[in-house]
Amino acid sequence: MGFAITIVKFIFVLGVLVFVHELGHFLAAKRVRIRVLKFQLGFNPTIISVRRGDTEYGIGALPLGGYVKMAGESPEEGSTGRSDEFLSKTKWERFQVLIMGPVMNLLLAFVLLAVVLYQGVEKGAYEDQPPVVGRVAAGSPASKADIRPGDRIVAVAGRDVRTWEDALLAIGQRANREIEIKLLRSGLETTRRVTPAVEGQSRVEFGQIGVLPNVHPHVRSVQSGSAAEQAGLLIGDTVLGLDGEPVTFSYQLKEAIAKRPEQPITLDILRGGERMRVGATPAKNGNEGLLGIGIGDDTVRIKPGFGEAIQLSVKKNVEYSHLILQTLIGLATRETSPKQLMGPVAIAQLAGEAPDFIATLTLMASLSLNLGLLNLLPIPVLDGGHIFIMALEGLARRDFSIRVKEKMLLAGFVVILTLMVTVIYNDLTRISWIERLMPWR
């Protein structure tokens, strides 16, 4: 049942993104009076189709894309020179048709994110705060590079960072790549070279150096008759550490307690400005320890109005676009690992794991933005590649021969094929039983 739901969600997410993209091409073609022969979602074989006027509307069996086929789209098809054919139109008109697919995806990302933001978003309170190191994990890359609590991270790999969100994203992009981190320590600037490591199993290779903000989880509820109540824990207590080990986030405390069923533990807490130590023994719940407290992190909830949601969506999409472009540049310069790329299998998994409709819309907004920007790249085969070729023809003041265009498209096809092989390989390595069959990993 879970697999079926994942497939349905995947088809829905991808179907909407592809439909919006191809709809952009279709509407633009109609606007400049180009005859559209076919509008299809999914690749052949066609399983359902209906004809309306000159256009056949179809659904293909393979839901991994779609296309709009226009009359006279390429010289190989034997253009008749009719005024309603693609190649009979001016370069400006053809540009409009090509650009509208990516533009529609960018607009969809903007609209979906605005809808999500209008519903309200909860995030860690520390994320928008300056990245002042509160704790350095023992044995971490940061510890080995002599990064200390109290250091203010100023720049990562030459990129200025203002908040924890900026810093963690900049570090995460460069897993297993040595980077320079600029710090402010006691009013003086200093630099450290550090190589972010990848921790745990993740679909995306995301680097961490072991620096954490100066935050701690709070007790939000205490169950009656629980080990927590017997130990004297109260709502509002701040948990600083467990058995002498600092605790930064609630998930760390939950994991530590779960590993200690029926074992005495010592909690360092802050209550009313006073540090205290409390002893407790988690009860056994199955194979895990249970203390009987509700624990949470400091969060802020953003609930913008309609106009604010639109403005915030524009701002966030611009920021995310900059991040995507940095990632693409990093891939070209080998500063970013290709393991950060995801293909259809990983997208299907993310769609299936989305807990609600808002989470699904958030995923769709992110994918639509990526799809729009990637299609604008000047790689032949992509929309941006066709626009690039037209621009070169404009500069040369002549159309290239079919043979030259074929070579350009072949080069673009090789690039896209290499990219497809990479993302599919990445997807397969994220499936544990398949990864076990890869002796080189």
Worst-scoring range by mean pLDDT, 52-66, 344-358, 366-380?
A: 344-358
Residue 181, both tokens? 């981190």
How far is it, in rounded angstroms, from Cα 137 to Cα 211?
7
How far is it, in rounded angstroms, from Cα 230 to Cα 226?
6
pLDDT of residue 3: 74
pLDDT of residue 261: 92
pLDDT of residue 418: 84
The mean pLDDT value for 206-228 works out to: 92
Indicate whether 292 pLDDT > 80: yes
**Nearest alpha-carbon partner for 344 in 367, 362, 312:** 367
Domain parsing of the chain, residue ranges: 2-32+89-117+364-435, 127-212, 218-297
pLDDT of residue 354: 76
- Please write down the HEC assignment for all residues of the chain: CHHHHHHHHHHHHHHHHHHHHHHHHHHHHHHCCCCEEEEEEEEEEEEEEEEECCEEEEEEEEEEEEEEEECCCCHHHCCCCCCCCHHHCCHHHHHHHHHHHHHHHHHHHHHHHHHHHHHCEEEEHHHHCCCECCEECCCCHHHHCCCCCCCEEEEECCEECCCHHHHHHHHHCCCCCCEEEEEEECCEEEEEEECCEECCCCCCCCEECCEECCCCCEEEEECCCCHHHHHCCCCCCEEEEECCEECCCHHHHHHHHHCCCCCCEEEEEEECCEEEEEEECCEEECCEEECCEEEECCEEEECCCHHHHHHHHHHHHHHHHHHHHHHHHHHHHCCCCHHHCCCHHHHHHHHHHCCCHHHHHHHHHHHHHHHHHHHCCCCCCCHHHHHHHHHHHHHHCCCCCHHHHHHHHHHHHHHHHHHHHHHHHHHHHCCHHHHCCCCCC
Domains 127-212 and 218-297 share a fold: yes
pLDDT of residue 412: 86
pLDDT of residue 212: 93
Indicate whether 434 pLDDT > 80: no
Q: Tokens 């056949």 — which residue?
A: 56
Indicate whether 10 pLDDT > 90: no
pLDDT of residue 130: 95
Whether 22 sits among the annotated catalytic residues: the reply is yes
The mean pLDDT value for 185-192 works out to: 93
Residues near 439 by beta carbon (within 8 Å), at least 6 away in sequence: none
More confident call, 418 vs 133: 133
pTM of the entire predicted model: 0.81
Around 320, how many Cα atoms within 13 Å sit in the side-chain half-sphere?
A: 20
pLDDT of residue 436: 63
Contact 58, 39 (CB under 8 A): yes
pLDDT tens-place string over residues 109-123: 999 999 999 998 888
pLDDT of residue 432: 63
Domain 127-212, CATH 2.30.42.10 — does that match? yes
CA angle 362-368-370, nearest 5°? 105
The mean pLDDT value for 313-319 works out to: 93
Which of 22, 56, 122, 165 is an active site residue?
22
pLDDT of residue 202: 55
The mean pLDDT value for 8-35 works out to: 93
Contact 203, 342 (CB under 8 A): yes
Contact 382, 414 (CB under 8 A): no
Indicate whether 81 pLDDT > 80: no
Q: How confident is the model at residue 75 (pLDDT cuts 50, 70, 90)?
A: low
Q: How confident is the model at residue 196 (pLDDT cuts 50, 70, 90)?
A: very high
Q: How confident is the model at residue 239 (pLDDT cuts 50, 70, 90)?
A: very high
More confident call, 173 vs 257: 257
pLDDT of residue 76: 66
pLDDT of residue 141: 95
**Nearest alpha-carbon partner for 172 in 332, 337, 334:** 337
Average pLDDT, the chain: 88
**Nearest alpha-carbon partner for 112 in 367, 321, 372, 318:** 367
How far is it, in rounded angstroms, from Cα 41 to Cα 23?
10
More confident call, 335 vs 298: 298
Residue 328, both tokens? 């693409």
The mean pLDDT value for 85-89 works out to: 90
- Percent with pLDDT over 90 in the chain: 57
Q: Tokens 């697999």 — which residue?
A: 3
The mean pLDDT value for 356-373 works out to: 91
pLDDT of residue 242: 93
Q: How confident is the model at residue 439 (pLDDT cuts 50, 70, 90)?
A: low
Indicate whether 311 pLDDT > 90: yes
What kind of fold does domain 218-297 have according to CATH? Answer: Pdz3 Domain (2.30.42)
pLDDT of residue 368: 95
